[in-house]
Chain A
Amino acid sequence: EAGVAQSPRYKIIEKRQSVAFWCNPISGHATLYWYQQILGQGPKLLIQFQNNGVVDDSQLPKDRFSAERLKGVDSTLKIQPAKLEDSAVYLCASSPGLAGRPSTDTQYFGPGTRLTVL
């Protein structure tokens, strides 16, 4: 079974530039998550999709971050414009999305994209 794919693996940009990350979840997984992991911290949930609908985006800085999951499969996360404090690893995870509330689902993580903002 193929895992969660993310690209690019690394990205270096200057502040005020824009950047986009891509995620392809495990086939058949209904739930997709984007996390931000700043050095020395645990992953922080930015947005959660159930199929192509947003379940939770309460921690997404909506003035600069946006995400979409067209057709309920792949997803993109965009930052425009980037700030120095956005330097982090951006993790994508997926889960089957069938385990009720609160979810007991196991999340399957991708390798992450390491973003450096100069």
Chain B
Amino acid sequence: AQSVSQHNHHVILSEAASLELGCNYSYGGTVNLFWYVQYPGQHLQLLLKYFSGDPLVKGIKGFEAEFIKSKFSFNLRKPSVQWSDTAEYFCAVNAKRDDKIIFGKGTRLHILP
């Protein structure tokens, strides 16, 4: 069955540190990949998505993610985090076979000022 793994459940960084959040999925066919973010007290919202073309995708607020098909990965990166990036981040995948979106368990990111 299709699954999504987020390696880190809780990450604590200082401002200006670089960030990489891991996401791996299990399905081998055509997939669309998403990162959603939930800031404290706010709704889940899209950060970025990949469905074709350049495997390096840029999103809002300086985030980017790279789709590496051979590794079944879609890691989220930001070169220099800010306190306002404190949030919970969810990786999600949907596959052509069943078109059902699966979310990972989320990574709670805490940025120290």
Partner-contacting stretch, out of A12-20, A77-85, A105-113: A105-113
Contacting pair B49 A101 (CB below 8 A) = no
B46:A42 contact, CB within 8 angstroms? no
Counting chain B residues whose Cβ lies within 8 A of the other chain, the interface size class is: 20 to 34
The A interface, classified by DSSP as helix, strand, loop or mixed, is loop
Residue in A43, A93, A102, A107 whose beta carbon sits within 8 Å of that of B30 in the complex: A102
- The number of residues on chain A lying at the interface, defined by a beta carbon within 8 Å of a beta carbon of chain B, is 24
A3, A4, A102: which has the most chain B beta carbons within 10 Å? A102
Interface centre among A3, A56, A104 (most CB of B within 10 A): A104
Among the 9-residue stretches B14-22, B62-70, B97-105, the one with 4 or more Cβ atoms under 8 Å from chain A is: B97-105
B90 interface residue, CB < 8 Å from A? yes
Once A and B bind, how many residue pairs between them come within 8 Å at the CB atom?
Answer: 55
**Which residues 56-113 of B sit at the A interface, judged by CB distance below 8 A?**
90, 92, 94-96, 98-106
A42 near B32: Cβ-Cβ < 8 Å: no
The interface residues of chain B lying within 8 Å CB-to-CB of A42 are: 4, 90, 92, 103-106
Chain B contacts for A60, CB-based, 8 A: none
Q: Complex formed: what's the CA distance from A108 to B96 in Å? A: 21
A44 at the interface (CB under 8 A from B): yes
Chain B residues packing against A (C-beta within 8 Å): 4, 30-32, 36, 43-46, 49, 51, 90, 92, 94-96, 98-106
Contacts A42-B4, A102-B31, A103-B32 known; 20 new A-B pairs at CB < 8 A: A40-B105, A42-B103, A42-B104, A42-B105, A43-B44, A43-B103, A45-B101, A45-B102, A56-B100, A93-B44, A101-B99, A102-B32, A102-B94, A103-B94, A104-B32, A104-B49, A106-B46, A106-B49, A109-B36, A109-B43
